[in-house]
Copies of this chain bind each other. A is one copy, B any other.
Amino acid sequence: MVQLPETPTQHSVPTSTDVARLAGVSRATVSYVLNDAGTVRISEPTRRRVRAAAEELGYVPHAAARSLRAGHSRTVLMPAPSFPAGPLYSRFIDDLQRALGRLDYTVVQHGTAGPYGERAARAWAELRPVAVLVPGPGLGPQGVRILKRSGVRAVVTFGPEVVEGAHALLMDHACVGHCAARHLYDRGRRAIGVVLPEDPALEVFSLPRLDGVRRALHGTDATVTELPLAHDEGAAARLAARWDLLGLDAVFAYNDEYAMLLSRALKDTGVGIPRHTAVIGADDLMLGRLLRPRLSTVHIELPAGRDLATLVDRAVRDPRAAPERRTVLGARVVPREST
């Protein structure tokens, strides 16, 4: 055991010793009262005196002390994702945070973006979370071991792959591309373009989606053409200008935003949608329904925050249980007018 002062004291910060002195009780009593240790019997007048002293001095207990009383910390750490968080993902995280909050966990999002090497795992371990939820790929088995050795009771990954020792919520975006490609094929399209955003941070989604397209069309008479595209009008116009040379009759445009970008450029070039080229996006944004023709899309379903929070809680309570693996990403086509 290392002895830690409560907090750095470059200016005068009240300590539990100050509270104990003012309330006329022991430091242990201060700790019991302020950390709500139900197991120790302390009279109500004493509790009131301690709370009043803490309030007068502006003393707040240290989270680590509270963890000690509870038997473990209640902090769930989530590193910041290395991809730009879209509205779908943001809503999922909000939902998860609220659900964990109701189970009395405190969620902290840690500012390290991926890739998550062993160095990152050590930085997280220093904060002594009870669970770590890792978005996207990159944390290897060694990272999981570092976390577990430091006392983390549950490591849960959200990504395309299973990492040894961690619970895995499998979010394989291949299914998004797969069902988009099946839909285009079923509509009789055979020369299928796939938009790949040039932003490298999106490859974690775009490459699995491309892979899903390839798998859906494998062994058929359809062809797949990769279409790298930057997120601006000029790039879309340049792609549209050589559309005839590409000989495509359909495009899976990565998501609705890229689909809107490309549709505008195709329309401006005189390419008929869907007569000449069918266009499908993904994410089912409200804005896609505003396009004319209305944009077909892949609706993506993320799991409910409450279900995930329950999984985290179960894993924390039983850290020796075998890792769970669950496929949590659902995808279905919403056909509209553009395909």
A residues lining the B interface (CB < 8 Å): 1-11, 13-17, 27, 31, 57-68, 70-73, 80, 84-85, 87, 90-91, 94, 97-98, 100-101, 106-113, 122-123, 125-128, 145-146, 149-151, 231-233, 257, 260-261, 264, 286-287, 289-290, 319-320
Q: Are A2 and B31 in contact (CB under 8 A)?
A: yes
Can you identify 11 A-B contacts, CB atoms within 8 angstroms? A2-B16, A2-B27, A4-B64, A7-B150, A13-B150, A80-B109, A100-B111, A108-B108, A108-B109, A108-B127, A233-B289
Neighbour of A84 across the interface among B27, B90, B150, CB < 8 A: B90
Cα separation A287 to B112 with both chains bound (whole Å): 30
Neighbour of A127 across the interface among B63, B85, B261, B319, CB < 8 A: B63
Cα separation A231 to B285 with both chains bound (whole Å): 11
Q: Given A7-B128, A8-B67, are A14 and B149 neighbors across the interface (CB < 8 Å)?
A: yes
Q: Are A3 and B1 in contact (CB under 8 A)?
A: yes
Q: Are A231 and B62 in contact (CB under 8 A)?
A: no
Nearest chain B residue, comparing its CB with the CB of A124: B60
Q: How many monomers of this chain does the complex have? A: 2
Cα separation A285 to B280 with both chains bound (whole Å): 21
A97 — which chain B residues lie within 8 A by C-beta? 80, 111, 113
A61 — which chain B residues lie within 8 A by C-beta? 126
Cα separation A25 to B122 with both chains bound (whole Å): 22
Q: Given A2-B27, A14-B149, A80-B97, are A287 and B126 neighbors across the interface (CB < 8 Å)?
A: no
Q: Are A60 and B15 in contact (CB under 8 A)?
A: no
Q: Are A8 and B72 in contact (CB under 8 A)?
A: yes
Nearest chain B residue, comparing its CB with the CB of A127: B63
A58 — which chain B residues lie within 8 A by C-beta? 145-146, 149-150
A8 — which chain B residues lie within 8 A by C-beta? 67-68, 70-73, 151
A6 — which chain B residues lie within 8 A by C-beta? 1-2
A105 to B: closest C-beta gap in Å: 8
Closest 6 CB pairs of A and B: A58-B149, A107-B111, A109-B109, A60-B125, A63-B126, A97-B111
Q: Are B100 and A106 in contact (CB under 8 A)?
A: no
Q: Given A5-B1, A63-B126, A128-B63, are A286 and B233 neighbors across the interface (CB < 8 Å)?
A: yes
Q: Are A10 and B72 in contact (CB under 8 A)?
A: yes
Nearest chain B residue, comparing its CB with the CB of A6: B2
Nearest chain B residue, comparing its CB with the CB of A110: B108
A149 — which chain B residues lie within 8 A by C-beta? 13-14, 57-60
Cα separation A287 to B59 with both chains bound (whole Å): 51
Known: A8-B71, A11-B151, A11-B319. 4 other contacts (CB 8 A): A2-B27, A2-B31, A5-B68, A7-B151
